[in-house]
Amino acid sequence: MTITAPDFRRVCVFCASSPGTDPAITEATVELGRQLVDRDLELVFGGGAVGLMGLIADTVLEGGGRVTGVIPRNLFAREVGHTSLTTLEEVDSMHVRKARMYDLADAFIALPGGFGTLEELAETLTWNQIGILRKPVGVLDVGGFWQPLLALLDTMVDKTILKPANREVLLADESPSALLDALVAQDLTYVPKWIGDSDI
């Protein structure tokens, strides 16, 4: 059984422009794409045609789904901009790219990735924390890929650097279906990030 919501229509997926060598990550990327199609959810992503970016876009398109890509003009050639998308937006900078993806999406999922994926994930969490966004965020924890980061966040809570309520914004699951269900069901409440003596 899958969970749907009328205001949950687009999912932004952060993922690598490299394919990696772990077949489990490849399989999870394909399965996430299929889940988006099955749930009639539009994919929003960085607009590239290579690596995991290209794989998830192609999976959704082959299934008859909708895909919107957002890519900076100066990266179009290097990231091999995908020219077969439902919509491809070319923007002026990385900052505009990210802001546009955040605006378009109703939720965010980070696949295993590198610096770019990590940056986008951290920024959406930060924007939720300070009240710019109120949209669910999750990581697809294939083979425990995200466990070191999740452990670090728990350490931040233990050291009273991060509030538990803000830590709980980031969801994690190894199953694309279960993660999507959790994102749809998540009830986000803004909790100010600042920790004072009364919080310790």
Residue 149 or 190, more confident:
149
- DSSP three-state, residue 88: strand
Residue 198 pLDDT: 56
CATH 3.40.640.10 for the 10-199 domain, yes or no = no
Query: Stretch 162-175: mean pLDDT, rounded?
Result: 95
Nearest Cα residue to 193 out of 95, 106, 121, 125 = 125
Average pLDDT estimate for 72-99? 86
Per-residue confidence at 164, pLDDT binned at 50, 70, 90? very high
Mean per-residue pLDDT, 78-85: 80
Structural domain boundaries in the chain: 10-199
Mean pLDDT of 77-92: 85
Residue 78 has a pLDDT of 66
* Identity of the highest mean pLDDT range in 56-60, 78-82, 88-92: 56-60
CB 132 within 8 A of CB 190: no
Positive/negative CA dihedral, 139, 121, 111, 177: positive
Tokens of 116: 């770019």
Written as six digits, the tokens of 102 are: 């955040």
pLDDT score of 185 more than 80: yes
CB 182 within 8 A of CB 173: yes
Give the pLDDT confidence score for residue 124 in this predicted structure. 97
In 3-state terms, what secondary structure has residue 140?
strand
Q: Is it the case that residue 1 has pLDDT exceeding 90?
A: no
What CA–CA distances, in Å, run from 122 to 50, 150, 186?
Answer: 23, 12, 18
Give pLDDT, residue 77.
67
CB of 180 within 8 A of CB of 11?
yes
pLDDT at site 14:
97
More confident residue, 101 or 82: 101
Alpha helix positions (H), 63-143: 94-104, 115-129
